[in-house]
Amino acid sequence: GRLLTLKDWIEKLPTRLVNGSPGLLSIQGAVMMMLGDPKAGIQLTSQALSLLEHEPDIEIQANTYVRRSTANRMAGNFQQAIEDSDCAIELTQQHPELLKVLASAFHARGAAFLQFGKLTDAREWLQKAREIFNKVDYLEGASKAGLELGMVMRYLGQFTTAEVIYREVLAYYQSTGNVIWQANLLNNLGVLHYLIGDYERALDELEDSIQYARLGGYQRLEAYALTSLGDLFRDIKSTKDAEDGY
């Protein structure tokens, strides 16, 4: 709801004002990306970066590179995503007042490596991002980086570490009451316990994930959890339940 409100607000502004403001173009690009249109996100953030060549503003420039990195990653342009994150890191690493932006750049780089399948690189950059987010007391950023770090650990077969990270992140989102992120974390925990054969815990977590996803109206996440539930029932030879899950 808030994203659509922000999108509508920017679109109601005079076109000349928006097209002449790197900050507004950057935010508009981030909104379009988060609404599922990474190509528009890339276009708008690129427009902002072109304007910033003439009137540099390090913070806006670095944030825009981070946003374009995320949009490129969503569009499957992993090498470009890594290069954009590098630009943001280069701009911010000598500016202690921009630590939060630096952490976001580390996060973007780690997330791109994760999608690229370079797990050890992903682990390194996501850990760095999480450490800095915690240092500046930005728990939302630390939690989002933690979710992806947990995924990396799971893919590397470090299941105990992955579970510890997932539970820390889940505790944060339980404290904020964010049902979508709770659903996401519970789905990841359910998949992890399914992979190590702890079917009883996996069943509880996946069922909770489905309930939270329904509560938040997030049908895609509900579908993921239902599919995982179907896999679980199939593996424990409960064919009827497997058919219901699928």
The 10s digit of each residue's pLDDT in 124-144 is 999 999 999 999 999 999 999
User: For residues 245 and 233, is the Cβ–Cβ distance under 8 A?
Assistant: yes
* pLDDT range class, residue 241, cuts 50, 70, 90: low
Residue type, 145: A
Higher-scoring residue by pLDDT: 12, 124: 124
Gyration radius of the chain's alpha carbons: 20
Name the residue with higher pLDDT: 215 or 92: 92
Q: Does the structure show a pLDDT above 90 at 18?
A: no
pLDDT-based confidence at residue 198 (cuts at 50, 70, 90): very high
Mean pLDDT of 29-42: 91
Output the pLDDT for position 182.
Answer: 95
Angle between helices 58-74 and 38-52 (to 10 degrees): 160
Mean pLDDT, range 189-214, rounded to an integer = 94
Instruction: State the CB neighbour count (10 A cutoff) for residue 28.
Output: 25
The predicted pLDDT at position 46 comes to 97
Which string of b and e fits 160-199 if b means at least 16 CB within 10 Å? ebbbebbeebbebbeeeebbebbbbbbbbbbbbbbeeeee
Residues above pLDDT 90, as percent of the chain: 74
What is the mean predicted confidence (pLDDT) over 9-13?
Answer: 79
* pLDDT exceeds cutoff 60 at 242: no
Count of all residues that appear for the chain in the document: 246
In sequence order, the 6+-apart residues with CB closer than 8 A to the CB of 106 are 85, 89, 125, 126, 128, 129, 132, 145
Task: Indicate if the pLDDT at residue 36 is higher than 80.
Answer: yes
Quote the pLDDT of residue 10: 79
Kindly indicate the confidence band of residue 234, based on its pLDDT and cuts at 50, 70 and 90.
confident
Task: Please say whether the beta carbons of 188 and 168 come within 8 A.
Answer: no
85 three-state secondary structure: helix
Phi first, then psi: what are they for 93, rounded to 5°? Answer: -65, -20
